[in-house]
Structure 1
């Protein structure tokens, strides 16, 4: 117990120290929200990865999908690495950085306003962001309750409040830069932690091959009659598994707190390095989480799904580990949750201040007042998320995957297609963006309130969210073809950022003559 407490105190002390050290970087809007657009590749990549993977992934999704799909759940982690990290950086990173700086936009709603014209889109996007980030924020705490209870026998409410207060302090003090640097440290903890946990859990079952053989002997006729299905390549339900891959991988392309990482990156080289670092990080952390969850059924004699739901699977798998490893796991999940929480509350407060309150509710809002309001809103958002988390836990309203599925589905469904087409296609119209906003938010709200009325395949929030994302990729171009074309002068201005001539050193680019000689 002394070791566990000492590790926690050291962890919190470092987080707070970084927060107060970074105060000098958060004296203006650009610094507080974007770190001055000067964040390097390693810090940005880790900030992206740690915002991506939280306790929702480690405890909720890994447990649930590992139980449902067996070792095939690892495909979700692979999809997160290849689609959610590698492709996201390659497709969005560079263009997002260039166009958002050109349009002087610090948030996704500001981008929609500057790219497509008018304040109405900005207000709508800000409202969608505010509404659907809150349940996602609340879901972050759930994974901690069982782990803290297992390790310290501390009441869930105390865990939630302590984590929220500490996260709020360093975000309020240091803004984006404090969040990013803390994410880097937390990311390192996550990498080493997940590797240590996987090795220890598999060793407790006799090693990897013995664990795989044990999994192959498990059958569940309610899921599949095929022998060894939970140790198979695609598992018992590849269609629904694909929906999980789409939601958790493609979804990052439209999440404001994820895309905003590209706004702040420093340079071209930083994007190239960040792509590699982020992808490797996702392979280890996401791949490791889902791989570990795939062996959950080996512990079926100890797991009580009726009482604890899917969220109890991973904590049960870890309960027999040595005390020092349990402490590492607690800090691992704490790191994952705090990094994501800090990103979400910073995104929510900046969006509400810059996109809703400024010029619409409060006139003549200078920069100093904007910073004060943002910091106050961080307190408000943290408090709201704490209340929802505690009420949800006490009342047993739902479990982690449902909260996250609704949030990701609505946000990514509404924003992914307009943002992607907005970066690449001049023909994207304002009407198409509106159509996609309305479609995705209505579908996910209906899914939340009248779920039984949906077709069987879309009753799951995960499947409904994946459907909204894919549908948006069709809705935006189709509606754009039949609605009023954007103003040519405005579009030429928006895309002129890609036409600027940039001089680079010889070491970065070969001349045409030299390229011919090399070939």
Structure 2
């Protein structure tokens, strides 16, 4: 990078701070901070939902997969997400919006204490928070890997810089700041992605490269599944991403909750699904061509895209692409931080502290901002260990740990909204959660060590989800549980119409009014 690139990068940081300052004016209570007060336009929600699924991992871990195996990076990553989000257009998006509009909640998990009980809510919340710390840590490590290529900064320095700037704007602006930075990210990514595509085609022979390059690439680069990314992995990933990107990892749920109505939530999901189907093809094509242009130096080829960028992109545009790396990671991490803060302040603190049940609106907002900072700090600390023997590398964290553990946490939360599974109560939810975590440990450690050659990646990520899904559904039939008011709760979540509460900007009740509901039960 030269001075022109640094000017672009510094200008981007200034815009992020300005967005945070503008968004701060729109945040008056926890509803505004966590769900934009239910006032977010559907198109902004859709773009935000789409962009919140990207991070620098796209240009490190998945660039390494594209460099090594080819088009399987699209078939086994973005295509399952596109299909999964499409499944949720009518199944999950409107129901998540009704959680805010009719139940007046600010956290996706707030409804779980009424759907199951406080113990179930707490177990799912704490395990999800811990998993998200590891997930976001991998994103910090990814952007630091790219920065080390372009600027020579160490891993720790890169993590500290990106984390500090993210904390500055997302703690003052809440979900509004997250969504607006993701809109800016989309614009930057569009320009940078087209620039890289044009540069690669110019280097390899012009527009005809789109169809002539395949004969020049390594054997098998055009196969939809390759290496550890098998057909079974594709099917497993489809199930995992259906839960994850429809709200199972909470930050996507907030995008649907933030829209004005269930209808707008459906439109938001439709836009996100279409973007996931089309736009990654533009981003991945240069990565598929990268073996013809650069020689990756890292074992997982996670530096291949950065090396290609250095070689092909002129100064100025190089700074813009680095800005794109920053914006991807910062937008995703800030979105996750906002979701975790919502869960911590609305679901965990009222159980841990009696004082939290009587917080005023201002006190709740202050707690939300401090918990956001605390989450970012913890994830940054873990990020320095991502390349340690415990985690191995960035893509191992993203695919094996996050995908493998997400299912047991998301299944009771997501399926609990559907009438079909009303018979599955707290026992089914907790048992399926615990068994899924045990299954993850078994297939990744004792069984993996005992099997010659180890357990395949497709089983490491799919077995925990399958175990949790079977137990959640099966125990609902074998040991059904009912709760007073459950039918009324599910009616509010599932039925169209004006409902008992307006679908517009809904005020979130204070912790004081929720105190009795938040009391732990024996």
Instruction: Report if TM-score (shorter chain) is over 0.5.
Output: yes
1:216 aligns with 2:209: no
Deviation of 1:269 after TM superposition, in Å, equals 4.5
Matches of 1:454 and 1:343 in 2, distance apart? 39
- How far apart, CA to CA, are the structure 2 residues paired with 1:251 and 1:338? 19
Residue 92 of structure 1 is matched in structure 2 by: 92
In the alignment, which residue of structure 2 is the partner of 1:45?
46
Aligned-residue offset at 1:20? 1.3
Q: Which is further off, 441-450 or 343-352?
A: 441-450
Quick check: 1:105–1:114 contact (8 Å CA) kept in 2? no
In structure 2, runs of 5+ residues without a counterpart are 500-522
Distance 2:239 2:200 in 1: 28
1:87/1:493 Cα in 2 relative to 1: closer, same or farther (>3 Å)? closer
Residues 410-425 of structure 1 correspond to what in structure 2 (within 5 A)? 410-416=405-411, 418-425=413-420
What's the CA shift for 1:272?
4.1
Matched, 1:79 2:42: no
| Aligned-partner Cα distance in 2 for 1:152–1:331 | 13
| 1:366 counterpart = 2:366 | no
Deviation at 1:339, TM superposition (A): 0.6
TM-aligned CA deviation for residue 393 of structure 1? 4.6
Q: CA deviation at 1:330?
A: 0.9
1:514: which partner in 2? none
CA distances 1:336-376 after superposition (whole Å, capped 9, x unpaired): 10110001111122212221112433434413322222212
* Residue pairs, 1:107-122, within 5 angstroms: 107-116=107-116, 118-122=117-121
Distance 1:205 1:275 in 2: 37
- Measured against aligned partners, the alpha-carbon deviations of 1:82-139 in whole angstroms (never above 9, x if no partner) come to 32332233321112211443333322332222222x2101111111111100111110
Change beyond 3 A, Cα 1:452–1:375: same
Q: Tell me the CA shift for residue 5 of structure 1.
A: 1.2
Query: Given the alignment, which residue of 368, 380, 392 partners 1:398?
Result: 392
Alpha-carbon separation, structure 2, partners of 1:416 and 1:61: 26
2:317 aligns to what? Answer: 325
Output one character per residue of 1:48-72: Cα deviation in whole Å (capped at 9) or x when no partner.
11211111223212322x2443123
The yes-or-no answer on 1:440 pairing with 2:433 is: no
Residue 253 of structure 2 is aligned to residue 259 of structure 1: yes
Counterpart position of 1:223: none
Unaligned runs of 5+ in 1: 220-227, 504-519
Q: Tell me if the contact between 2:97 and 2:265 (Cα under 8 Å) persists in the aligned partners.
A: no
CA contact (8 A) 2:16 2:181 kept: yes
Q: Which moved more, 1:398-407 or 1:450-459?
A: 450-459
* 2:371 counterpart (374, 377, 383): 377
Tell whether the 8 Å contact from 2:129 to 2:340 is kept in structure 1 after alignment.
Answer: yes
SS in 2 for 1:487: coil
TM-score (norm 1): 0.85
Contact 2:163–2:376 at 8 Å: present in 1 too?
yes
**Conserved in 2, the CA contact under 8 Å of 1:109 and 1:123?**
no
Contact map agreement 1:447 1:461 (CA 8 A) in 2: no
CA contact (8 A) 2:110 2:347 kept: yes
Q: How many residues align?
A: 490
Q: Is the 8 A contact 2:95 2:417 kept in 1?
A: no
Listed as ranges, the matches of 1:263-282 within 5 Å are: 263-282=257-276
What's the CA shift for 1:444? 2.9
Residues in 2 aligned to 1:456 and 1:471: alpha-carbon distance in whole angstroms = 23
CA deviation after TM superposition for structure 1 residue 251, in Å: 3.1
Higher helix share: 1
Query: 2: CA distance between counterparts of 1:54 and 1:454?
Result: 35
Q: Give the deviation of 1:396 after TM superposition.
A: 9.1
User: Could you say what the CA RMSD is over the residues aligned between the two structures, in angstroms?
Assistant: 2.9
